Structure 1
Amino acid sequence: MTNPTTRDWHHLLGACLSILGLIWYLFIWSVGLVGCWTARKKYRSRPNREPAATTVPGVSILRPLRGLDTNLLENLESSFRQEYPHFEILLSVADEHDKALPVVYELLAKYPNVNARVIIGDMDVGANPKVNNLIRPYNEATHDILWVLDSNVAVAPGTLARAVEILSHPPHPNSPRRRIALVHHVPFAISSRGATFGARVEEAFLNTNHAKMYVAINAAAVDSCVVGKSNFFRRSDLERLDGSLVPQQRQHDSGQQRGLAAFSRFLAEDNMIGLSLWHELNLRHDLSCDVAHNTLGDMNLSDYVWRRVRWIRVRKRMSLAATLLEPLTESVMLSVIAATSTQFLTGVTPHLFLPTHFILWILIDLDVYASLAGHALPSSKRWGFLVAWVVREVLAFPIWILAMMGDEVEWRGRRYKVMQNGEVARR
C-alpha cells in the first residue's frame, strides 16, 4: 500500500474546501430565494386600502424632523391622510429656527381636523440626536401605541390600520408563537429622474439586495432584524427595556435607565429596540404588507460610500461574527467562491459559470424590486438602474474593507466613536 503524497493531501483539502464553498453558495442562494418568494407573497397581494373599524386603539405618530428633507411636505402629509379614526401626530424639532417648521405649519393649517401639534426643543439624554428629539413627544404622547416615522418616509393611507391590526392581534392560546411587539416596514427607495448617481446607487441597494435579505431574515425569524424608517411598538413595552439584551427574568435592579432614553447611547437605536424586545421580553416582530417609501435626496457617490461605512462600523460592534461573514454573502465574492469551487470539482471554467450566476442574481433582485414597487422596473430608468446596481455590487467589498479599518463615524454633522455593543461617544 502506498502512502498518500503531499499532492494527494492538497487535492483532498481543495476538494473539501470546494464542497464547503458550494454548500455556502447554495445556502446564500436559498436565503435569497426565500426573500424573493416572501416578497412576492407579501407585497404583490397587499390591499390598496383597508377601512379601519369604528372601535380601535389610539395611536400616537411621532415624526422627528430636522431641516428640509426631499419631498418633506408629501412625506409628512401622508401621516395626515391615514384612513384611521383615532390617532394624533406629534412633529418635533430641536430648534425653533428649523427650516422644517414652515412646512409643518402649512400642514396644520391644511388639516385643522387632524389632531396634530408641533413640539419645539429636544432633551439631551444621550449621544443620539434622533432619540433626543423624540424624548419629549414620547413622553407627551397620549396613546400607548407609538408609530415612529422618519421625516424622509411617505406611507400609503391604509398603512396605520393594517399595522395596528398586526400589532393588536393576540396569539392563539394553543400557539407557541410569542406576542408581536413591533411592526415594521421594509424601506423602498425613490429617486427622482434627475437624481444624483449616489442616490441611484442607494436606490439600487435598498430595493434589491437589502430588501431581499431583510425580508428573508424576517421570514426566518431567528433573531431581530429591524430598520427604523417606520416602526410600531407599545410604550408600555419600551418602558420595561434597558438595552442590555439580558432576559428580564435574569436582570437585577441596578438602577439602569429604561424606556426610550436608555437607547440614546446607541447610534442604531431602532435595531437595539428591536433586539431588546426580542431578547429582554421574549417578544417577536412582524413585517407589514406595506412599504416605507424612502425619498432620497441629493447624494454623491462618496456620500453613499460613507453611509454604508457608517452602518457597517456600527454593525461590527453589535454583531462581529455576522459582519465578518457579510462579504461572503455578496454576489461578487460569492461568485468567486462558487466559480473556483465548481472549476476544481467539475472542470467547468469561470467563463461559463460567472455569466450564468450574475444573470440569475440580477433577475432575482429585479423580481424583488417588482414585488415592492408593485410593477416592474420602468424602461425609462432601466439602464441607469442597472449601471447603479453593478457599481453597488462592485463596491460592496471595498466598502467593507474600509469600514473594518476604523471605528469613527459621522452622522448628522457630528462625529462619533463606536464602542462595544454599538454604543457611541461624541468626539
Structure 2
Amino acid sequence: MISPTVDDDPTAQDWHHVFSVWLSIVGLIWYVFVWSAGLLGCWTARKRYRNRPNHQTAATLSSSVPGVSILRPLKGLDTNLLENLESSFRQDYPNFEILLSVADEHDSALPVVYELLAKYPNVNARVIIGALLYIVPQEGLRTCDLGDVVDVGANPKVNNLIRPYNEAVHDIIWLLDSNVAVAPGALARAVGILSRPSSHPNSPQRRIALVHHVVFAILTRESSFGARVEAAFLNTNLAKLYIAINVAAVESCVMGKSNLFRRSDLERLDGSLVPRRRQHDSGQQRGLAAFSRFSVEDNMIGLSLWHELDVRHDLSCDVAYNTLGDMSLSDYVCRRVRWVRIRKYTSLVATLLEPFTESVMLGVIAVVSTQFLTGVTHHLFLPIHFILWILIDLDIYASLAGHALPSSKRWEFLVAWVVKEMLAFPIWLLAIMGDEVEWRGRKYKVMRNGEMARG
C-alpha cells in the first residue's frame, strides 16, 4: 500500500498554500517596514545633519556652564591619532578637563600625548599611565604615584578608564574613543542637549541622560580596500538604521565612540537592566566598574540608563569622525564577525533579523513574495530596488559628510558598496556559529548578556 504524500493530499496542499501566502505577505510587510526605517533614517539625517551650525563659540556661552571631564582611553597609534586627540583640546567650551589614559608606560601613543600637552599648556589636561599620573603644568613635568594598576574585569577599555573616571572633577563625563575626532563646537552642543530641563511630570517624554554621536568614516589616500568597504558600511546602511532606531526610540541603541552622560546617573547603575524601584540591595558593584564584565560596555550603559533609570538618549547634530587607514578585507570581515557575535548575546532577535535588513536578502524576499502572490516575474524589480537603495545610501552619506560624494570617488565607492553587500550574509553566517572574538590582539569568549571572559 502506498502512503499518500503532500502532493496527493488536498488538505495538506491547502495548508501549504495558505502558509505560503501568509509567508509571502509577511515578506512584503517586512520589505515595506525596512524601507520605511531606511527612509526615516534618511529624512532625519537630512533634517538634523544638513542644518547643523558650523561653529559654536565660547563667547555665546555663560562662564557658569557645567564642567565636563573628557576621558580618552588610548592604546597604540590609531590612524590620525594626533588630530583625533587635538580635537578635544580645541573644544570651544569654557569649562572642561581632559584625562588621557594608557595601561602601559611604554605605549606608543604617549609621545603624541606629550606633544599635545606641550602645545596646549593652558588646557587643563593630564595623562594617567597605569600606576602613574603625569601632569604637565607650565613649569614642567612631574609624576605622582597612585598605587597598583587597576584591573576590575575582563574589559580592557573599562580597566583603562577606571582611574581617570575616579579622578574626574566634573559630574558630566564625555567618553571619547581615541580613533575619532569631533568638531570644536561638539561639546557645547552636546551639553546643551543633556542640560535641557525635564518635561512636565505628566508628559510621557523622559529626561535625556545620554547624548551620543553617529560615526562617520573618513578615508585618506593611504586607506586600503578593506577600509573603503568599512567606510561604505559605516556611512550608509548602518548609519541610516542607527539614526532610525534612535528616532523611533523603541529601545536603547548606543555605540561607544562618543558618549556624554552624568556620573551621578552611572553610579546608580549595576548593569542588571532591572528598574531601580524593583532592585534589592544585593551589594552588587555599581558605576563604571559594573560594566567591566561586558564586552560592549557602551551598549550596556545605554541599556542600563534606559531600563534601570527610565531615562532616554538623544543624538547630537554632530558626528564622530573616524579616520580609517590600513585595513585589509579580512580585517573588515573579522571586525564585522566580532560585533555580530557580541550582539548575538545582547540583542538576539535583532541579530537574527539582521541579514534580512541588507539589500540583497531583502530584495530576494520581495521578489519571491510578489512572484508567489501574483504569479508574475518582475525582471526590473531587483535593478530598481538596488538603484533606489544606493541612492538612499548616497543621500545618507551626503547628510553626514555635509557634501555629496565626489564624482571622482563614486566608482571606488560603488565597488566597495557591492562587496559590502555581497559579504553581509556570509559574515553573519560565520559570526552566528561562534562565541570567541579577538580584540586588540587578545581573545575573549562572549557569554550570556554580553558578558565576556579572557580566552
TM-score (norm 2): 0.91
Tell me if structure 2 keeps the 8 A contact 1:340–1:350: no
2:278 to 250, 253, 270: 250
| Cα separation, 2, equivalents of 1:343 and 1:46 | 44
Let me know the Cα RMSD of the aligned residues. Answer: 1.3
1:270 to 275, 295, 298: 298
Name the structure 1 match of 2:32: 26
The answer on 1:124 being equivalent to 2:133 is no
2:22 to 7, 13, 16: 16
Q: CA deviation at 1:345?
A: 2.0
Name the structure 2 match of 1:67: 76
2:170 to 135, 143, 147: 143
The superposition leaves residues 283-310 of structure 1 with CA deviations (integer Å, 9 ceiling, x where unpaired) of 1000000000011121101111111111
State how 1:22-421 maps to structure 2 within 5 Å.
22-52=28-58, 53-54=61-62, 55-121=64-130, 122-173=149-200, 175-421=203-449
| Cα separation, 2, equivalents of 1:170 and 1:263 | 28
Aligned residue-pair number: 425
SS in 2 for 1:82: coil
The code of the aligned residue for 2:55 comes to: R
| Cα separation, 1, equivalents of 2:152 and 2:333 | 30
The superposition leaves residues 22-77 of structure 1 with CA deviations (integer Å, 9 ceiling, x where unpaired) of 11100111011100001011000000012341220000000000111111100000
Tell me if structure 1 keeps the 8 A contact 2:222–2:326: no
Q: CA deviation at 1:349?
A: 2.0
Q: CA deviation at 1:327?
A: 1.1
SS in 2 for 1:154: coil
| Cα separation, 1, equivalents of 2:452 and 2:23 | 39
| Structure 1 segments unaligned to the other structure (5+ residues) | none
| Cα separation, 1, equivalents of 2:11 and 2:449 | 48
| Structure 2 segments unaligned to the other structure (5+ residues) | 1-8, 131-148
The superposition leaves residues 179-199 of structure 1 with CA deviations (integer Å, 9 ceiling, x where unpaired) of 111000000001112311110
| Cα separation, 2, equivalents of 1:353 and 1:160 | 45
The code of the aligned residue for 1:83 comes to: D
The superposition leaves residues 94-126 of structure 1 with CA deviations (integer Å, 9 ceiling, x where unpaired) of 111111111111111111111111111051100
Residues 185/56 of structure 1: CA separation in 2 closer, same or farther (3 Å cut)? same
Segment drifting more, 15-24 vs 89-98: 15-24
Q: CA deviation at 1:254?
A: 0.8
SS in 2 for 1:85: coil
The superposition leaves residues 137-159 of structure 1 with CA deviations (integer Å, 9 ceiling, x where unpaired) of 00000000000000010000000
Tell me if structure 1 keeps the 8 A contact 2:199–2:206: no
Q: CA deviation at 1:19?
A: 1.3
Name the structure 1 match of 2:140: none
| Cα separation, 1, equivalents of 2:281 and 2:368 | 54
| Cα separation, 2, equivalents of 1:417 and 1:126 | 13
SS in 1 for 2:380: helix
SS in 2 for 1:45: coil
